Structure 1
Amino acid sequence: MISRTIGWDEELHQQEPCFPERYTMVYRNHDLIGFFAIREASEYLYIHTIQLVASFRGKGYGTTLLQHIENIARTKNLQRIYLSVFKENPAQKLYQRLGYKPIAQDEYLIRMEKLLEAN
């Protein structure tokens, strides 16, 4: 999706992850099935990226992963989660189903927000 929209920058890609401490690997039965990266701000959590191996998409892992991220936000007493998603990314439907609402967009991306209920 990056190549088809904003363009691929190999040099920039080789520098990732710039903040490896933000990345969490996701395993199933000792097999790496994906990863995610989040950034905590004073009043919200930002999902930088979620990546799942293609064969594990559409099987509930994304939902479970997003619920896990929401639990992280709650333990930190954060009541908002933000993310950006490419307009053509089918994961948009998952985000909307889980309560994320579009709040802004540009040519390529939709910015979404989820408000978490206070504990």
Structure 2
Amino acid sequence: MQIWLDPAGAADLPPARALARRGMLPYYIAYDLLWQDQAFDDTWHWREQRVVRDGPRWLGFLSLSADRRALYIRELHLLEAVRGQGVGAQVLDLVLAMARERKLALVRLTVFKSNRAQRLYARHGFVQVGEDDCFYRMERPAPG
């Protein structure tokens, strides 16, 4: 499977919201957090949103933000049917390449402590640099 990241459009918001809610609701419940569709929708408009595609197939989405030093993965959600097939690893490779192109030193993310995705991040060189009650903060240097 060869994936790429296309800019997301307004039509991508409803399936992205539904996918994020499906994936995140169990964590929100476990950590006694409140999921709010409106909060998701609000961030959709100010973050850099990308659709993960394999040809014409919509596989999920990626939400990014940046500061002068780092590219932040704010959301990365893939359809259940494509998880465990290397799509997440390809997305991380593309994000690292984006950080290099933008001359940013780091790629950072936050992941629920109970989320299995942290193993994927660790395999890609992300290390834990902090934590709070329910999240680990992870980062890795962007390739030079």
User: 1:47 corresponds to which residue?
Assistant: 73
In 1, Cα distance between the equivalents of 2:38 and 2:32?
13
Alpha-carbon contact 2:73-2:108 (below 8 Å) kept: yes
TM-score, normalised to structure 1, is 0.89
Alpha-carbon contact 1:47-1:82 (below 8 Å) kept: yes
User: 1:88 corresponds to which residue?
Assistant: 114
Q: For residues 60 and 11 of structure 1, do their structure 2 counterparts lie closer, same or farther at Cα, with a shift above 3 Å needed? A: closer
Deviates more, 1:24-33 or 1:70-79: 24-33
Q: What is the RMSD of the two structures over their aligned residues, measured on CA atoms?
A: 1.7
1:33 and 2:59 equivalent? Answer: yes
Alpha-carbon contact 2:72-2:107 (below 8 Å) kept: yes
Q: Residues 9-24 of structure 1 correspond to what in structure 2 (within 5 A)?
A: 9-13=35-39, 15-19=41-45, 22-24=48-50
Q: Deviations over 1:53-101 (max 9, x none)?
A: 0111110000000000000000011111110000010000000011000
More helix by share: 2
Alpha-carbon contact 1:45-1:82 (below 8 Å) kept: yes
| Secondary structure of 1:3's aligned partner | helix
- Give the aligned residue type for 1:61: V
- List runs of 5+ in structure 2 lacking aligned partners: 1-26
In 1, Cα distance between the equivalents of 2:47 and 2:124?
26
* Paired residue total: 118
Superposed displacement of residue 41, structure 1: 0.6
Superposed displacement of residue 31, structure 1: 1.7
In 2, Cα distance between the equivalents of 1:30 and 1:11?
27
In 1, Cα distance between the equivalents of 2:66 and 2:112?
21
Of the three residues 47, 63, 66, the one matched with 2:92 is 66
Alpha-carbon contact 1:6-1:108 (below 8 Å) kept: no
